[in-house]
Amino acid sequence: MLVLSAEEREGSWGNEHLRAADGVGAFVRCLMPVRLTGGGTLEYSVWLRVPADVLRHASAVWEAPEYADLRLEGTVANAVQPWTDMLGAPARAEVRDPESIPYLVADEGTLMHRVLHDEWDRDDVLSRLTHALPVPVRQRITARWSLDRSAGLELRRHQERVSFGGPGRTVHLDPLGTPARTAPAEVIRELTADAPSDRDGELTETGPGEAHRYAFWRPALGDGRIVHNLHGFVAVPGEVLHLVCVYDDPADLAWAQHVWRSVRPEKG
């Protein structure tokens, strides 16, 4: 419906909870609560595709006492990750609170029943959301690398590049392949051979397994003003992750170092 032309939109109808468009379908917005590991719950707002006459009935009772008895049956009209078969999955909805939109329910043995009743990995689910989150989340950025995505940072992807961004803070990520027989420490030395020598500080650390870490930080000119950059490297045999934390406040050095130290090589 978002890509309808101006002429096509003339055949559409609805509001924030009830929508219909000629040739597209009729939809009711519903809530889909998902239980997460650690005791949290994430509540999605998704659209349920329903027959046109069901939408007309829902519209007629939406502000009436009869709304409390509204029952809907249809299919999910959104693709929601990480549930790859969500789009088109059968589902039902019922009103639990007259002050709220309907909640999705499902029959046993269906995908929706699993989504609503199983417990799902917190980081796997939250890391699929690109907008800024109010909590930190462990973000897998490639099959090989993950790190902490700080609260308040939006996930951005452009071609093969990944970054996180928010007010006063940005993290740029660049995973690279290296010769498998080259030692991780040597890889980092080669990558930083031409780096500026005027630095506010630097650190070298070794982590679990064969990971080797190096970081340096310095002020730089960005958009006509002084910003602060931490260049961090984490290398294992055959691969290295280069990250750049850009921050306005020099006191955020501790944050940048945390992001660098949070990088973890995964098994794949």
CB 165 within 8 A of CB 159: no
Question: Residue 48 corresponds to which amino acid?
Answer: L
- pLDDT, tens only, 227-236: 999 999 999 9
Residue 148, Cβ density class (10 Å: 0-12 exposed, 13-18 middle, ≥19 buried): buried
Q: What is the pLDDT of residue 9?
A: 76
Q: What is the pLDDT of residue 208?
A: 58
CA-closest candidate to residue 195, choices 218, 176, 175: 218
- pLDDT, tens only, 155-192: 998 877 899 999 999 999 999 988 878 889 999 999 99
Question: Average of pLDDT values for 81-105?
Answer: 96
Residue 233, Cβ density class (10 Å: 0-12 exposed, 13-18 middle, ≥19 buried): buried
Collapsed DSSP state (helix, strand, coil) of residue 110 = coil
- pLDDT, tens only, 95-141: 999 999 999 999 999 999 999 999 999 999 999 999 999 999 999 99
Instruction: Return d(Cα 192, Cα 80) in angstroms, integer.
Output: 41
Q: What is the pLDDT of residue 130?
A: 94
Q: How confident is the model at residue 88 (pLDDT cuts 50, 70, 90)?
A: very high
Neighbouring C-beta atoms of residue 5, cutoff 10 Å: 7
Q: What is the pLDDT of residue 207?
A: 66
CB 142 within 8 A of CB 128: no
Question: Average of pLDDT values for 235-257?
Answer: 95
CB 17 within 8 A of CB 28: yes
| Percent of the chain with pLDDT strictly greater than 90 | 80
Residue 28 above 80 pLDDT?
yes
Q: What is the pLDDT of residue 204?
A: 95
CB 26 within 8 A of CB 51: yes
CB 153 within 8 A of CB 166: yes
